[in-house]
A and B are shown apart, each in its own frame.
Chain A
Amino acid sequence: MELDATNTPKTVRLSFEGTAIEAPAGATVAAALLAADIIAFGTRPVSGLPRGAFCMMGTCFECMVEIDGIANRQACLETVQEGQNIRRMPPRIPTKGQGDGDD
Chain B
Amino acid sequence: MATTECTQVDVAVLGAGPSGMAAAIHAAEAGVDVALIDEHPQAGGAIWRGLANASGSRRQTLLRDYPDGGAMLDRLGAAKLRRIHAATVWEVTRDRVIFYSQAGVARQLAARRIILANGALERPMPFPGWTMPGVLTAGAAQIMLKTSGITPPGPVVMAGSGPLVLLVAAQLLEAGQPPEAIIDTTPRGNWKRALRHLPVQSSARQILAKGLKLKRDLRRAGIPVYRGATDLEALGDETVSGVRFRHRTHMTTLNCSTLLVHCGVVPNTQISRAIGLDHVWDETGQFWRPHVDDMQRSSVAGILIAGDGGGIAGAEAAVHSGRIAAMAALDGLADVSETAFDHERKALARHKAIRPFLDTFYAPAAEFQRPGNDTIVCRCEEVTAGQIRQLVRQGCHDPNAVKSLGRAGMGPCQGRYCGQTVSRLVAEVRNEPVSDVGYFRLRPPIKPVTLGELASLTPDEARNDG
Contact = CB atoms under 8 A, between A and B. Distances in A.
Given A24-B148, A39-B133, A57 B143 contact: yes
A46 B381 contact: yes
26 contacts: A6-B56, A24-B148, A26-B53, A27-B147, A31-B144, A31-B148, A34-B144, A39-B133, A40-B133, A44-B382, A45-B381, A46-B382, A49-B132, A51-B133, A54-B136, A55-B121, A56-B136, A56-B137, A56-B144, A58-B39, A59-B413, A61-B411, A61-B448, A62-B379, A64-B412, A77-B86
Given A49-B238, A53-B136, A26 B148 contact: yes
Interface in B34-72: 39-41, 46, 53, 55-58
Contacts of A103: none
A41 B55 contact: no
Contacts of B153: 34, 37, 39
A39 B239 contact: yes
B189 interface: no
Contacts of A72: 448
Contact of A57 (B41, B139, B152, B379): B139
A40 B14 CA distance: 32
A7 B412 contact: no
Interface string A9-39: 1000000000000011011100110110101
B283 to A, nearest CB: 24
Contact of B131 (A26, A32, A51): A51
Contacts of B257: 39
Interface centre among B40, B58, B148 (most CB of A within 10 A): B148
B285 interface: no
Interface in B379-430: 379-382, 411-413, 416-417
A-B pairs, 3 with minimum CB distance: A52-B133, A7-B56, A3-B149
A44 B131 contact: yes
Nearest to B134: A39
Contacts of A49: 131-132, 238
A86 to B, nearest CB: 15
Given A56-B144, A57-B121, A1 B151 contact: yes
Nearest to A80: B148
B72 to A, nearest CB: 20
A59 B147 contact: no
B135 interface: yes
A3 B134 contact: no
Interface of B: 39-41, 46, 53, 55-58, 86, 121-122, 131-137, 139-141, 143-145, 147-154, 175-177, 238-240, 257, 268, 379-382, 411-413, 416-417, 448
Contacts of B145: 3
Contacts of A56: 136-137, 139-141, 143-144
Contacts of B448: 61, 72
A11 B412 CA distance: 32
A56 to B, nearest CB: 4
Contacts of A6: 56-57
Interface of A: 1-4, 6-7, 9, 23-24, 26-28, 31-32, 34-35, 37, 39-41, 44-47, 49-62, 64, 72, 76-77, 79
B150 A27 contact: yes
B134 A27 contact: no
A26 to B, nearest CB: 6
A23 to B, nearest CB: 8
A9 B147 CA distance: 12
B79 to A, nearest CB: 24
A59 B133 contact: no
Contacts of A37: 153
Contact of B137 (A1, A2, A34, A55): A55
A45 B175 CA distance: 36
Contact of B177 (A1, A32, A44, A46): A1
Contacts of B135: 54
A64 to B, nearest CB: 7
B131 to A, nearest CB: 7
A2 to B, nearest CB: 6
Contacts of A23: 148
B413 A3 contact: no
Nearest to A8: B56
A55 B139 contact: yes
B140 A3 contact: no
Contacts of B150: 1-3, 24, 27, 31-32, 34-35
A12 to B, nearest CB: 11
A76 B150 CA distance: 13
A49 B135 CA distance: 14
B151 A3 contact: yes
Contacts of B147: 26-28, 31
Nearest to B149: A3
Given A1-B177, A27-B147, A50 B133 contact: yes
Given A3-B150, A7-B55, A57-B140, A50 B177 contact: no
